[in-house]
Amino acid sequence: MVSLTNLRKYLVVVLAGIALTACATQGKKGSNIAGDVYTGNETVEYLATGVKDRVFFATNKSTLTTASRDTLRKQAAWMRKKSKLKFTIEGHADERGTREYNLALGERRANAVKDYLMTYGISGSRLNVISYGKERPVNSGSNPLAWSQNRRSVTVKAQ
């Protein structure tokens, strides 16, 4: 039989758990964005089990977060095993900037990823870079969540 005190503790834990899940739910204001960088898993695809295909950026920035570097280390480890494969690294920007600057920013982001992969032993000749600026958003919404998902660099297996 559960005592009343234990029931109270149990309820507190359950309620706290619900509150935490609510905070992590998609669509809630400010969710899954930390320091202006998207931290969620929506739109993310996988090159292999546990190897995410993309990293995200803050507005106007091309710096890699700790989480991004972790993703890219996993990509590099997988790429070393698949030594015959080549890749295209896409750089993208959100729509809240001028078109030409966004093309350059996308190229800078893709190269930040390429440079990091190269420091983990992947030959630059296996990594082709292309910028799409703001031309190919993955989320067509006009809101901070959509924009954070669009500020990305995606690693794609070359055909």
- Catalog residues that contact another protein under the rule CB under 8 A: 60, 62, 95-101, 103-105, 107-108, 111-112, 115, 130-131, 135-143, 146
For 38, residues 6+ apart whose C-beta sits below 8 A from its C-beta are: 32, 56, 145, 148, 149, 151, 152
Smallest gap from Cβ 82 to another protein, in A, equals: 22
Q: Is 79 in contact with 126 (CB distance < 8 Å)?
A: yes
Beta bridge partners of 46: 52
* Min separation Cβ 98 and another protein, Å: 4
Question: What dihedral angle (degrees, nearest 10) is formed by the CA atoms of 140, 141, 145, 151?
Answer: 30
Of 4 and 100, the one with the shorter C-beta distance to another protein is 100
Residue 129 phi, psi dihedral angles, 5° rounding: -110, 140
Closer by beta carbon to another protein, 46 or else 101: 101
Give the shortest CB-104-to-another protein separation in angstroms.
Answer: 4
Q: Which is nearer to another protein, 36 or 95 (CB)?
A: 95
Classify strands 37-38 and 33-34 as parallel, antiparallel or unpaired: antiparallel
Nearer to another protein, 21 or 140 (CB): 140
- Considering the complex, what minimum distance in angstroms separates the CB of residue 110 from another protein? 8
